[in-house]
């Protein structure tokens, strides 16, 4: 006769065996245990259950002993699934003694990841004897092969790709790409964002030093719908209604991405506006304007305030700058609140919370108008034939199917400098320019001149969002 507790254990073992059937293969530890301890031998049931409690978490992962690695840990001697563009079909950590291995986690749909490939390729060639860079993705081989054979940037590089990865992403979990892991002699030296991959930093790690860089530590599964602040329990106890309205501004949420949302509760009609991890200028632009038409080019601030409003892109790592200069804002509004009042409330909040003086002004503004000179000649191929355009495009250059496309991109890139199209919109003329035009106005001007185009500077009365810093940022780590 089977006692109730024994019956429960038997049921548990059978249920566990059924649940793990998909991952337990012939000769696995579970089946080995069942052969040693047959099911009728109930006196051994407790022992079986105890051992299974240890083994099943390992079996369910499919890869035993996997845990996330941190700085100073040694990469275990495990081999990723497959690699292409490489001298071998797999990768062994033991093959890279006294060499720096850089793992760049990326995706084929990440445009910034693809744009960084030529720089990685250049570093790989320059430090070939001391450095090995691997691009890492969990995507299927066919998709990656398509990228490196058809993409105008990716097809020019010779970097190896670790594909269909399920191992490395468990060792180095992350929520956002690019994600860089630095290994020297198999030891984790750093985990960073992509802007840390420079020649100077490569030489630092090759010297054997462990750099003191901040660890890129993404938060996976963050609930972007969670409120930034909640009422304390002792306050909730005294509230008789369910509707609570207010606003809050916080410093950056570490390891969390940028997100904006406007949600109206279908039951109460309450509107919640929430912006996560925005720089100051971006926070005003996103919450106060139709950012699709009121672009960055119409947000003006003085050069001395640039470093606190938008990422300057030089002399400072992005994550270091973001920690000091990005913020979160949340506000809730009663049902049917007019949009004008909502915008006024948000603008006042941001001005007070961030110590900024903001205003919308129609003011004389220096602008650029795209023109073509008399010697301009259209290219000898159809603008709409994108495949042909790709074949005529050097690596790491940008294709604009029309001047209007170029102007739209420039207005969404340059802060405080409006661009206008002075060329008839019906003219079929593609524009192919180097990627650096998005960071340097002088490079843009020179590249346009080579195609018999130029920027004419004019003064126009333009509606601008003007931002001025009042005083030092209130959000500081220490208070005197």
DSSP states of 299-368: EEE-GGGHHHHS---SSS-HHHHHHHHEEEEEEEE-TT--HHHHHHHHHHHHHHHHTEEEEEEEEEEEEE
> What CA–CA distances, in Å, run from 143 to 82, 105, 151, 327?
14, 15, 11, 37
Question: Which helix (H) or strand (E) element contains residue 19?
Answer: helix 4-19
Burial class (CB in 10 A: 0-12, 13-18, 19+), 17: middle
Q: Determine the pLDDT at residue 476.
A: 55
Burial class (CB in 10 A: 0-12, 13-18, 19+), 26: exposed
Percent of the chain topping pLDDT 90: 59
42: its two tokens: 């109930």
Burial class (CB in 10 A: 0-12, 13-18, 19+), 304: exposed
Q: Is the pLDDT score of 49 beyond 50?
A: no
- Residue matched to tokens 């992509």: 194
Q: Is the pLDDT score of 339 beyond 70?
A: yes
Q: Residues 60-111: pLDDT tens digits? A: 444 556 899 999 999 887 666 689 999 887 787 667 888 999 999 999 999 8
Can you say how many angstroms the Cα of residue 478 is from the centroid of all Cα atoms in its chain?
29
Q: Is the pLDDT score of 43 beyond 70?
A: no
CA dist 450 and 445 (Å) reads 9
Question: Which helix (H) or strand (E) element contains residue 419?
Answer: strand 419-421
CA dist 258 and 71 (Å) reads 26
CA dist 266 and 274 (Å) reads 17
Q: Residues 2-18: pLDDT tens digits? A: 444 443 433 333 333 33
Tally DSSP H helices, then E strands, for the chain: 16, 16
Q: Determine the pLDDT at residue 39.
A: 44
Q: Is the pLDDT score of 46 beyond 60?
A: no
Q: Supply the DSSP string of 213-230, one letter for each residue.
A: PPP----TT--TTS-S--
Mean pLDDT (whole number) for 242-268: 94
Mean pLDDT (whole number) for 27-45: 42
4: its two tokens: 């109730």
| Beta-ladder partners of 83 | 162
| Beta-ladder partners of 331 | 247, 273
CA dist 181 and 322 (Å) reads 21
CA dist 32 and 52 (Å) reads 11
Phi-psi region of 327 (alpha: psi -120 to 50; beta: other; left: phi over 0): beta
Whether 146 and 109 have beta carbons less than 8 Å apart is answered as: no
Helical H runs in 43-193? Answer: 45-61, 111-115, 117-126, 141-150, 168-171
* 3-class DSSP assignment, residue 234: helix
Question: Which helix (H) or strand (E) element contains residue 457?
Answer: strand 453-469
CA dist 363 and 342 (Å) reads 25
Q: Is the pLDDT score of 343 beyond 90?
A: yes
Mean pLDDT (whole number) for 350-376: 95
Quickly state the pLDDT bin for 140 (edges 50, 70, 90). very high
Q: Determine the pLDDT at residue 31.
A: 40
Can you say how many angstroms the Cα of residue 160 is from the centroid of all Cα atoms in its chain?
22
Q: Is the pLDDT score of 151 beyond 90?
A: no
Rg of the chain on CA atoms, in Å: 29
Q: Give rounded-to-5 percent helix, strand, coil for the chain.
A: 35, 20, 45
Q: Is the pLDDT score of 32 beyond 70?
A: no
| Beta-ladder partners of 180 | 104, 192
Mean pLDDT (whole number) for 387-396: 69
| Beta-ladder partners of 432 | 399
Bond before 178 cis per omega within 30 degrees? yes
Q: Is the pLDDT score of 170 beyond 70?
A: yes
For the chain, give the mean pLDDT. Answer: 83
Q: Is the pLDDT score of 378 beyond 90?
A: no
CA dist 381 and 375 (Å) reads 18
To the nearest 10 degrees (0 to 180), the angle between helices 199-206 and 117-126 is: 40
Mean pLDDT (whole number) for 348-376: 95
For the four alpha carbons of 157, 159, 161 and 167, in that order, the dihedral sign comes to negative
Quickly state the pLDDT bin for 379 (edges 50, 70, 90). low
Q: Determine the pLDDT at residue 382.
A: 56
For the four alpha carbons of 182, 183, 184 and 190, in that order, the dihedral sign comes to positive
CA dist 9 and 40 (Å) reads 12
């Amino acid at each position: 006769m089977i006692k109730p507790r024994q019956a429960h254990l038997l049921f548990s073992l059978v249920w566990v065996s059924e649940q793990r059937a998909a991952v337990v293969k012939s000769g696995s530890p579970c089946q080995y245990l069942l052969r040693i301890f047959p099911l009728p031998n109930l006196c051994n049931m407790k022992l079986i259950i105890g051992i299974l409690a240890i083994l099943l978490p390992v079996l369910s992962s499919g890869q035993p002993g996997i845990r996330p690695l941190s700085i100073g840990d040694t990469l275990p001697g495990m081999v990723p699934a497959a690699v292409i563009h490489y001298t071998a079909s797999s990768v062994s950590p033991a093959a890279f003694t006294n060499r720096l291995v850089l793992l760049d986690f990326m995706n084929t749909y990440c445009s910034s990841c693809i744009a960084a490939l030529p720089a990685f390729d250049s570093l790989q060639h320059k430090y070939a004897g001391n450095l090995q860079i691997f691009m890492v993705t969990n995507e299927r081989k066919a998709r990656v092969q398509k990228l490196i054979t058809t993409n105008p940037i990716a097809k020019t590089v010779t970097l190896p790709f670790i594909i269909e990865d399920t191992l490395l992403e468990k060792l180095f979990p992350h929520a956002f790409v690019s994600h860089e892991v630095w290994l020297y002699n198999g030891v984790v030296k750093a985990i960073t964002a992509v802007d840390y991959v420079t020649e100077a930093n490569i030489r630092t790690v090759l010297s054997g030093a462990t750099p003191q860089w901040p660890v890129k530590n993404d938060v996976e599964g963050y609930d972007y719908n969670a409120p930034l602040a909640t009422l304390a329990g002792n306050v909730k106890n005294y509230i008789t209604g369910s509707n609570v309205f207010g606003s809050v501004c916080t410093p950056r949420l570490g390891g969390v991405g940028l997100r904006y949302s406007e949600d109206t509760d279908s039951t109460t009609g309450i509107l919640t506006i929430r912006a996560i991890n925005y720089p100051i200028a971006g926070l005003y632009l996103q919450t106060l304007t139709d950012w699709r038409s009121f672009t960055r080019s119409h947000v003006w601030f003085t050069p001395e305030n640039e470093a606190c409003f938008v990422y300057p892109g030089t002399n400072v790592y992005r994550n270091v700058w973001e920690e000091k200069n990005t913020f979160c804002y949340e506000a809730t509004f009663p049902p049917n609140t007019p949009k004008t009042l909502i915008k006024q409330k948000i603008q006042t909040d941001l001005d007070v919370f961030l110590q900024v003086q903001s205003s919308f002004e129609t003011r004389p503004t220096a602008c650029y108008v795209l023109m073509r000179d008399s010697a301009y000649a259209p290219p000898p191929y159809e603008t709409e034939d994108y495949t042909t355009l790709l074949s005529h495009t050097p690596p790491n250059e940008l294709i604009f199917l029309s001047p209007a496309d170029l102007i739209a991109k420039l207005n969404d890139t340059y802060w405080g400098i409006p661009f206008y199209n002075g060329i008839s919109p019906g003219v079929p003329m593609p524009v192919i320019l180097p990627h650096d035009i998005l960071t340097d106005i002088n490079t843009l001007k020179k590249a346009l001149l080579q195609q018999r185009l130029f920027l004419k500077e004019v003064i126009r009365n333009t509606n601008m969002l003007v931002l001025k810093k009042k005083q030092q940022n209130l959000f500081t780590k220490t208070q005197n």
